Structures are given as structure tokens and as C-alpha cells.
Amino acid sequence: MTATVARAESAPTANTPARKRWSVAEIEALFALPFNDLLFRAQQVHREHFDANAIQRSTLLSIKTGGCSEDCGYCSQSSRYDTGLEKESLLPLNEVLENARAAKAKGASRFCMGAAWRGPKEKDLAPVLDMVREVKKLGLETCVTLGMLKEGQASQLKDAGLDYYNHNIDTSPEFYGQIITTHTLQDRLDTLDKVRDAGINVCCGGIVGLGETQKSRAALIAELANMSPPPESVPINNLVQVEGTPLDQAKPIDPFDFIRTIAAARITMPESYVRLSAGRQQMDDATQALCFMAGANSIFYGERLLTTDNPDADADDKLFARLGLKSI
């Protein structure tokens, strides 16, 4: 017998079409479906909205590494943990452009620049605005992830030509305080509002494998899916364990539960790009293939994430060829 999941539509108003609000229990019910039924449903939703064989590819570059004031328990870049990472200053523009050109030559469509800041100071933002302008001129989509934004900073980024701002809510409201204490989930939501108001596309997702429960994972997906509108891009990160961080020894997530999380993101956010993000280097090819089948249609492409390894571009090109996937 197949479990069914009830759907309740929110009432439409004159200006807003009906959008379903997902309860945590409904997403837990998705997780409880037989694996094949969940994947079948996710594939159906995926095919209604996307070419199921087309994957978007973004290349990451850490433009300012280490020394972050925040205490995110998974992060190699927090100054609170001894992870052996050297703190670096902001990369010069020419080095960023060299990396962006190489990413474009390899076939990435978007270039994402990440800085280990609680948020950018005014003096930090000006050079990043130049990076956005110049990367955009190369014909790449631009994305930055700089931490929390102050009033006015999002519109400066928009004016420079920024396409996406990445700012994850990371984990469920209930679990948040066990992973991060130096800022709150509400702080993150406030920045996301500023990004949205400035007319920048939102890239917002989370991280699993932190020792969270299935319910917590369901609550993370509900929080994302109930954003109005949901993020255009939803990165789902699988923890890359980093020695020296409090989560170095966290119990890894069962790969099937990771795939279920991707499927739930696809079903609840049918129009969003769902990115199979950190953790691919530690994943076998079959697990990745099932993530694509579950509705993931974006990856980080290139041998480095921010501070940890990712499969190199040639390995991904081979995997795409074996699976008949094309890049967009």
C-alpha cells in the first residue's frame, strides 16, 4: 500500500496565487513513503517543471578565507576552532578573474564568491562590487555569499549586477541554537528579506548530517518551502567533516535519507533549482545519480568548494557522460 500525503492550498487573494504551505508533518510523511514511491513522485514533479537531464553548474571561489567571528559548528573557517586553516585577506581582483575565466572555460554558468565574514563592512564591500561587475562582464552569472547584510548593501550589490545572493538557513529553527550561537535564524531571515527586496535572486538552503533528526530535516525543508516565494536556488549540503570543529565526529546521514531530503526539496519547491552541494567528494556515483533522479538539477563544479575538496571537473564530465546528463 502506498501512503498518501494530503495537500492543502492556501487561499488565493487578488494579487497572490494560491501557494501550498507545507507542514512539518506532511514532509515527514513524504520521508515515510516507500523509497521508490518518493522518487517516482519527485521525478514526476521534476519533469513537469524542468528538463530532467539538464544540470546547472556553479563554480565556487573562496575570496576571503578563515578568521570568521561566527561559531557555526560545522565550519572550517570559524576562528573559534583550531582547524589548521590559515586566515587570508581578500583576494585581489585579478586572481578572482583568473579563476572566473577558468571556470567559464570549463563550462560553469555561474561563479559564486564566498567570504568568511559575519557580514561585510563598508570597506569590504567596495572591492567585492568590483568583482561582481567584472565577473559579470565575462558572461557568467554572479553569486556572492558574504554573511549578514546591513541596510543598503543589497541594493549596492544589485546595482553592480549581482544575480544571486547565497545565505543558508542551514538547519531547523529548533536545532539552530545547538549548531550556531553567534547569530540567530531570524538574523539570517532578515538578510534574506533585504536580498529579496533589492530584486536579487535568493540562493538559500541548508546542511544535513549534523546529527539532526528526520523531523529536524523535515522542518528545514518546510521553512524553505514556505518562504514566499521559495528561493530560486536551494543548496542541500551534506556535512564535510572538518577536524577541529565540534561536528567532526557527527553521525553521518544515511545516504538514502540524504536522497529523500533532495526528493522532498524537489516536491515542495517544484520551480526551484535544487543543488546537490557539499559532500559529493565523499559520495559514490550511484548516490549522486539517485540525487539527480530525485530532482537535484544543479551542482558545484570544480575541484574545490570553499576550503574542502570537490570532485574535479573532468570526473564530473565523465559522470555526466555516463548518465547522459547535459549541462546548462
Residue 204 interacts with ligand SF4 (CB under 6 A): yes or no: no
Choose one: 37-45, 70-78, 249-257, 270-278; the region binding ligand SF4 (CB under 6 A).
Answer: 70-78
Indicate the residue among 216 and 237 with the shorter CB distance to ligand SAM. Answer: 237
SS (H, E, C) the chain: CCCCCCCCECCCCCCCCCCECCCHHHHHHHHHCCHHHHHHHHHHHHHHHCCCCEEEEEEEEEEECCCECCCCCCCCCECCCCCCCCCCCCCCHHHHHHHHHHHHHHCCCEEEEEECCCCCCHHHHHHHHHHHHHHHHCCCEEEEECCCCCCCHHHHHHHHCCCEEECCCECCCCCHHHHCCCCCHHHHHHHHHHHHHCCCEEECCEEECCCCCHHHHHHHHHHHHCCCCCCCEEEEEECCCCCCCCCCCCCCCCHHHHHHHHHHHHHHCCCCEEEECCCHHHCCHHHHHHHHHCCCCEEECCCECCCCECCCHHHHHHHHHHHCCEEC
Residue 242 interacts with ligand SAM (CB under 6 A): yes or no: yes
Q: Which of 99, 166, 191, 288 forms a contact with ligand DTB (CB under 6 A)?
A: 166
Residue 308 interacts with ligand DTB (CB under 6 A): yes or no: yes
Choose one: 37-45, 75-83, 88-96, 245-253; the region binding ligand SF4 (CB under 6 A).
Answer: 75-83
- Minimum CB–partner distance for residue 199 and ligand DTB (Å): 21
Choose one: 42-50, 89-97, 165-173, 294-302; the region binding ligand SAM (CB under 6 A).
Answer: 165-173
Distance of CA 211 to the CA centre of its chain: 19
Q: Which of 237, 268, 272, 297 forms a contact with ligand SAM (CB under 6 A)?
A: 237
Indicate the residue among 38 and 202 with the shorter CB distance to ligand SAM. Answer: 202
- What residues are paired with 304 via a beta bridge? 309
Choose one: 74-82, 157-165, 240-248, 253-261; the region binding ligand SF4 (CB under 6 A).
Answer: 74-82
Indicate the residue among 33 and 56 with the shorter CB distance to ligand SAM. Answer: 56
Question: Which of ligand DTB, ligand SAM, ligand SF4, none lies near 239, with the C-beta cut-off 5 to 8 A by kind?
Answer: ligand SAM
Residue 205 interacts with ligand DTB (CB under 6 A): yes or no: yes
Residue 78 interacts with ligand SF4 (CB under 6 A): yes or no: yes
Residues 6 or more apart from 177 whose CB is under 8 A from it? none
Residue 77 interacts with ligand SF4 (CB under 6 A): yes or no: yes
Residues with catalytic annotation?
A: 68, 72, 75, 112, 143, 203, 275
Give the number of other Cβ atoms within 10 Å of residue 47's Cβ.
Answer: 12
Q: Which of 142, 233, 237, 268 forms a contact with ligand DTB (CB under 6 A)?
A: 237
Measuring CA to CA, which residue among 34, 44, 47, 43 is closest to residue 4?
A: 34
Question: Which of ligand DTB, ligand SF4, ligand SAM, none lies near 78, with the C-beta cut-off 5 to 8 A by kind?
Answer: ligand SF4
Q: Contact positions toward ligand SAM, by CB under 6 A?
A: 74-75, 114, 116-117, 145, 147, 167-168, 170, 207, 237, 239-240, 242, 278, 306
Contact footprint for ligand SF4 (CB under 6 A)? 68, 70, 72, 75, 77-78, 116, 147
